[in-house]
Homo-oligomer: A and B are copies of this chain.
C-alpha cells in the first residue's frame, strides 16, 4: 500500500440523522466525504476527509460531456457488539480498477482505497443505522474533471467516497418482483463497456426500465445484443435460474457485470453441494423449462437488494408465474445466509467479512 496520509477536517455543523423507518435508498448522506485528486504527472494526491459539500466544477469538465466516470457500491453493517463490518471490499476495489482500465482512468491503490473508506466510516460511524435490514451504503466513484472539450482521456480526476444510510430494500421483507424480457433495447455488447461499472451503462438502461415500469414491471431482463436470445442481466443485477434442481447463471461473457454478490452466491452453492453452472442460457431454454414445469426459481443478485426473487417473467406475450409468485426456498436460504454473514449474525467461514477498527 502506498504511504498516504489522510488529512481530516471535521464538520462543525452536524446534520440531523433520519429516523430508521423513514430511510430510503440513496437520498440521505452523512456529515463527511473522502476526496483525492489526480493530476497528470503528479498521480493521485491530497487524500482528505472533509465535511460533505458540493463539488465545484468547470462547466467544461469532461465528466459532463464524455461520461468518463466509474463507481462502486458496497455496504457497512453495525453488529450488536458495535463492530463495523464490510463485505468483501477488496472485490469492489479490484473491480473499480478493472472499470478504470476500460475507461482509461488511472488506477487507484486498492489497499489504500479500503483504508480510506474505513477511516471515513469511522468518522461517520454514528450514521450506521441499526434497525433490521438497514445499512450504510458506500459509494466510491471517480469523475474526470479537466475542462476540455476534446474527446480524449482527461488529465485530471477526483476519487470520491460518499456514505448513505439506507433502509431495507424490501419494506415488507424479501418478496418477488415482476420482470419483462426486453426485446427492443440492449444494455451492452461484447467489445463495449458492459463489464465496467460506468455511468453510460446505467444511462442506456433507463429507457427500457421506464417503458417496462409503465407496463407494470419493475425491471427488464436483458438479452445479448448480438443474437438477442441469451440472457445477460436483470435490471442492474446478475440473474440465476433454478431448473430441475440445478442452478444456472450466465457466464462472464465480456458484456455482463462481474457481481460480488453473484460470486459469493456461487461459492455458497458450491459449499452446499448444490449443482451450479455458469454458462450461456437462452430465453427459449427458460421458456421450455417453464412449460415442462421444471423452472423452480429465478432471482436477481446485487449489493442493494442482495437477492431479488422473480415471481413473474413476461415473454413471448405470456406471463410465466414462477414458484406460484412466492419467494423460493433456495432464494430465501441464500438471502438469509448472505445477510447473516454480512451483518455478523452468522459465522463467516469464507473470510468475506472485514472489520473496521
Q: Interface residues, chain A, CB within 8 Å of chain B?
A: 25-27, 29, 33, 52-61, 63-69, 71, 73, 102-104, 137, 139, 141, 143, 147-153, 160, 162, 164, 184-193, 198-207, 209-210, 225-226, 235-236
Knowing A26-B149, A67-B69 touch, does A160 contact B203 (C-beta < 8 A)?
Answer: no
Nearest Cβ on chain B to A302's Cβ, whole angstroms: 10
What CA separation (Å) do A25 and B65 show in the bound complex?
15
B66/A148 in contact, CB under 8 A: no
Q: Do residues A104 and B207 form an inter-chain contact, with CB atoms below 8 A?
A: yes
Instruction: Flag if B204 contacts A200 (CB, 8 Å).
Output: yes
Q: Write the nearest CB–CB distance from A243 to chain B, whole angstroms.
A: 27
Contacts A189-B192, A190-B225 aside, 9 further interface pairs with beta carbons under 8 A come to A25-B149, A27-B147, A29-B147, A54-B56, A103-B203, A151-B202, A186-B190, A192-B225, A225-B226
A202 to B, closest residue via Cβ: B66
Asked whether A148 lies within 8 Å of B67 as measured between CB atoms, the reply is no
Contact assessment for B139 and A65 in the assembled complex, using a CB-CB cutoff below 8 Å: yes
Contact between A191 and B186 (Cβ–Cβ < 8 Å)? yes
**How many Å lie between the Cα of A10 and that of B52 in the bound state?**
32
B151→A236 contact, CB < 8 A: yes
Contact among B63, B148, B200, B205 with A64 in the assembled complex (CB-CB below 8 Å)? B63
Q: Give the contacting residue for A189; candidates B61, B104, B189; CB below 8 A.
A: B189
Complex Cα distance A304/B64, Å?
Answer: 19
Which 5 residue pairs are nearest across A and B when measured between Cβ atoms?
A200-B200, A67-B199, A26-B149, A186-B191, A67-B203
